[in-house]
Amino acid sequence: MTEQKNTQAVGMAFMGMIFFLFGFVTTFNITLADKFKAVFDLSNFAAQLVNGAFFFTYFVLSFAAGSIIKKIGYKSGVILGLLLVALGSFLFYPAAKALSFPFFLFAIFVMAGGVVFLQVAANPYVTALGPSETASGRLNLTQALNSIATYIAPIIASVFVFKAASNALSAADAAKSVPTPFLIIGVVVIIIAIAVYLLKLPVIPTQGEEKKSIWKYPHVILGALGIFFYVGAEVGSAAMLQRYFQEALGMVQSKAAMMIALYWGGAMVGRFYGSFMLSNTTRSKKYLYTGLVLLLALFVGWFVRREITDGLIFAGIALVNYLAMQLGKGKANRSLAVFGMIAALLLVVVIIANGPIILWLGLSIGFFNSIMFPNIFALGVDGLDKGELSMASGIINTLIVGGAIIPVLMGVMADGLGVRFAFILPIICYLYIVFYALVGSKHK
């Protein structure tokens, strides 16, 4: 039993590292949409093609990745994903030399291909590393580590890309600020791939008796649609809020990018809550962990602008997030419904409100995005045989393409109606998530 727990601990530590990596890569790319808009003088629609190129890869490769991983295993699938991330990272250098937006999109597509393999391998691996009833808690923990990276990425982009670009004399000089972080990412990822190859990891079977076709499980297919709407709403809201803060509040580009770090920081805090609130952790430990997470929220809120007021506001939102999670009573579907409804209501207020309150209402949506991906995924694969997990993960991850489609549609709405009204689309997305939580996730 002790050996089994140690093996699971090694597996979870490994997964935490992988989740951190693809979280950083994903959010760093999302943040660059506004950068490319300025460098290449793009419309809102064209700028959102940065997100489109990244998330369209899920539609193209996820199902194939699930089939490949079923044959070669999770470890080999992760190594393949890491090598593709490294290749895509290195392609940013010639793209900057050529000053070509399509070349940048191709580099993003290749890098995203690697992230697809990491996603398709990592999520079912985590669910299989323990009992199904606590799978949501384990996924929230690894997603929390993912969110640490998504919190850091906009800060790094703001410092090393946006500020450097603001001092550039031409578009060519501005584009030259983009590749350096990606070259560093490429080198780091290759080192990680070598370490993974040499590391002995717990083996999770990818072969097993398939009770029936994955397509005949309604909760899997509806869960995949839930991922489509969730990722679209999360990515689209982040990208458009960054633009909205500049337009409605007069923020400079680098400051708006920096503040979006708190949007992702809220997701990190909420996922840490979910990691123990949706697990079998004892009540006394839950209280201890809650206090520690509130301290983390205070630090995260303070760190971006080094203002204690920001820290206190952010910690206050974290407390509201914790209280809202109590309404879920430890159940994945009920918690998901509560958070989906709150996220939708927050966006309604963002649309109709004016003034500085927009900033904190918009950023607080990140808190309520927090448990959505792990809970939707856990509900979507609930009750499946381990041999069915990789294929189900491929189907579900294919619909991450929502991160390509929804933000682009929001860009079209922003160009035609104004940035404020583009938020109508993610409101609809969150309402579908509420439906899935209460109705669609039930086994039929």
**pLDDT reported for residue 119:** 85
What are 23-56's pLDDT values in tens digits?
A: 888 877 777 777 777 778 878 778 778 877 888 8
What's the CA gap between 308 and 301, in Å, rounded? 8
Residue 227: pLDDT band (50, 70, 90) is very high
pLDDT reading at 310 higher than 60: yes
Contact status, residue 279 vs residue 71, Cβ threshold 8 Å? no
Count of alpha carbons within 13 angstroms of residue 21, beta-carbon side = 35
Cα pseudo-dihedral 73, 79, 85, 86, rounded to 10? -160
Tell me the mean pLDDT in the region 387-411. Answer: 85
DSSP H helices, 250-331, are: 253-277, 283-305, 308-326
The per-residue pLDDT for 206 is 63
The predicted-structure confidence for 180-195, as pLDDT tens digits, reads as follows 788 888 998 899 889 8
Cα separation, 253 vs 38, whole angstroms: 10
Helices vs strands, H then E, count in the chain: 19, 0
Q: How far apart are CA 62 and CA 119, in angstroms?
A: 9
Q: What is the pLDDT of residue 292?
A: 93
CATH 1.10.10.10: does it fit domain 2-440?
no
Q: Is the pLDDT of residue 211 over 70?
A: no
**Strand, helix or coil at 72?**
helix
CA 113 to chain centre: 15
Given this model, what pLDDT does residue 169 score?
44
Asked if pLDDT for residue 3 goes beyond 70, the answer is no
Give the C-alpha distances (Å, rounded to integers) separating 256 from 167, 288, 305.
Answer: 17, 34, 11
Would you say 308 and 302 are in contact if contact means Cβ atoms under 8 Å apart?
yes
Q: What mean pLDDT comes out for the span 113-122?
A: 88
Tokens encoding 386? 């381990």
More confident residue, 66 or 336: 336
Residue 53 and residue 36 in contact, taking contact as beta carbons nearer than 8 Å: no
Q: Please give the Cα distance from 371 to 234 (Å, whole number).
A: 12
Integer-rounded Cα radius of gyration of the chain: 20
The answer, yes or no, to whether residue 157 has pLDDT greater than 50, is yes
Break the chain into its structural domains and give their ranges: 2-440
Cα–Cα dist 48/13, whole Å: 34
| H or E stretch at 151 | helix 135-157
Neighbours of 291 (CB within 10 A): 10
- What's the confidence (pLDDT) of residue 63? 83
